[in-house]
Amino acid sequence: MRWRPDFIIPFLVLIFCLGGQSLTHAEGKFNLKPGARGKICLNCHDGFEEILKNPFVHTPVKTGDCAGCHNPHASSHGKFLDADPKNICVGCHTNVFPDKPVSTHQVAAEGKCVNCHDPHAAKYKFNLLKEGVALCSECHKALGERIAAVKFKHAPVEKGCANCHEPHASAAAGKLLKSNVPALCLKCHDPAKGNFQKQHMDFPVADTRCTACHNPHGSNQRGLLYDNVHNPFANKKCNQCHEGPSSPTPLKVRAGGYELCRGCHSNMINEALAKNRLHWPLLDRNGCLNCHNPHASDQEALLAAPMTDVCGRCHSDTITKQKTAKSKHPPVEEGTCMACHSAHSSDQVLLLNKPSVIDVCGECHDWQKHSTHPIGDAAKDPRNPNLTVTCLSCHRSHGTDADKMLLSPTQTEMCTKCHKEFRR
């Protein structure tokens, strides 16, 4: 084979370009003197010597490539960073996020990497600021305190949250879990083992959601059950509600909807059904389970979640209104919807727990019951002959954008809805 001259010239140009590029790279983009990289920065930043003694040092720092992240001359970003701090890390760490994450850690998505990592050097692997649960507890304080306080601890949690959760994003499951429940749990807990079966009364629970009954972060109950346990469940009387392990449909419940619960809670249900107005979901196919967990819960009254979340599953408009309102009603904020409403039934519209709206509000606002604008049966609403003035004539109980949860942006506008003679 012979070299053709017309190929030789472009080939040489290509070699020259490649060689030139690597030469430029070797010198660094700031054309530093040989041996000046990093070392020259330490002339002024002398405190760094100590930091660099940490066992885990960020690779660019280790190689003295300060200019990998910082611009030594000028920058539009704080700390002379060479790019937006939200994006600078992913410039090198390109595989932090999966292509299609199911869940993403908010701080990671916001590029706040330094909330968890020291960009220079740290005592802990991956340049983490703290180790294990202590790091996550910096933000997840309540959970961290609970993990520390519970009587029965879950061993993997003790070793660190990253045993079950991905720190940045998960391609497999929600809540940053490495995989979905029960698959995640079954990696350690073998359902074929005798003890597992005995603890679960021989019910085929391998395909059920473990976290419906167990608190994966630890508990004060044996078996890591949630703190509040339904009595039949605690006493292993599963057959009171389920057909039983010898049945072809062992987990099937013995009756549908509220009728199952009525077996024990007949007084409560009869009392509810005797009222004029029912909370209708109580009587649908899920019945009590629309709001309650039949086995165990970390909420009072075995609620399936905090009350605002439970109520918000159907009444999302109301909860959203409160969340976005400028003036908010504290009971809704605190998740005590039942301060005003009866969850099962009532004789009043809106399932209010007292016949008079004024009395409902007066439970907390007693002073306003007698020292306020005329309200009650004697105060007729001029806008409507069938109405009297109540608190709800001017206020909205789930928050508004006006002060004091008033319905109008200004008091003048509110008052002149009725007192038209003062309109301007």
Partner 1 sequence: MPTKLLYTLLFILMLFAPAASFAEQSILFQPVVSVYADAEGQGLLNPEGVACSDHSLLVADTGNNRLLQYQVKVDAVEFASQIKIPQLSYPIRVQVNSQGEIFALDGKNRRIVRLKKDGQFAGNLDLKGVPPDPAATIVPRSFKIDQQDNIYIVDIFSGRVIVLNPQGAFLRQIAFPKEFGFFSDLVVDNGGTVYLVDSANSMVYSAAKDAAGFLPLSKNLKEYINFPTCITTDNKGILYLTDQNGGCIVLLGLDGSFRGRKASMGWNEGLLNYPAALCINSTGHAFIADRNNNRVQIFR
Residues that bind partner 1 (CB under 8 A): 256-257, 259, 275-278, 280-281, 283-285, 313-318, 349-350, 381, 383-387, 393, 417
265: closest CA among 294, 229, 223? 294
Q: Give the shortest CB-81-to-partner 1 separation in angstroms.
A: 40
The smaller minimum CB distance to partner 1, of residues 243 and 259, is found at: 259
Tell me the CA distances in angstroms from 422 to 387, 390, 413, 415, 417, one per residue in order: 22, 21, 10, 9, 10
Q: Give the shortest CB-255-to-partner 1 separation in angstroms.
A: 9
The smaller minimum CB distance to partner 1, of residues 354 and 417, is found at: 417
ω into residue 10 within 30 of 0, thus cis? no
Q: Give the shortest CB-285-to-partner 1 separation in angstroms.
A: 5
**Separation CA 155–CA 145 (nearest Å):** 16
Chain centroid to Cα 424, Å, comes to: 49
Q: Give the shortest CB-323-to-partner 1 separation in angstroms.
A: 14
* H-state helical runs in 274-404: 307-314, 316-324, 330-333, 357-362, 366-370
The smaller minimum CB distance to partner 1, of residues 321 and 369, is found at: 321
State the DSSP H helix or E strand holding residue 103, giving kind and residue range, or none if neither.
strand 103-104
The smaller minimum CB distance to partner 1, of residues 135 and 272, is found at: 272
For residue 378, report the phi and psi dihedrals to the nearest 5 degrees.
-80, -15
The smaller minimum CB distance to partner 1, of residues 11 and 280, is found at: 280
The smaller minimum CB distance to partner 1, of residues 215 and 393, is found at: 393
Three-class SS state of 116: coil
Overall residue count recorded for the chain in this entry: 424
Q: Give the shortest CB-400-to-partner 1 separation in angstroms.
A: 11
Q: Give the shortest CB-189-to-partner 1 separation in angstroms.
A: 30
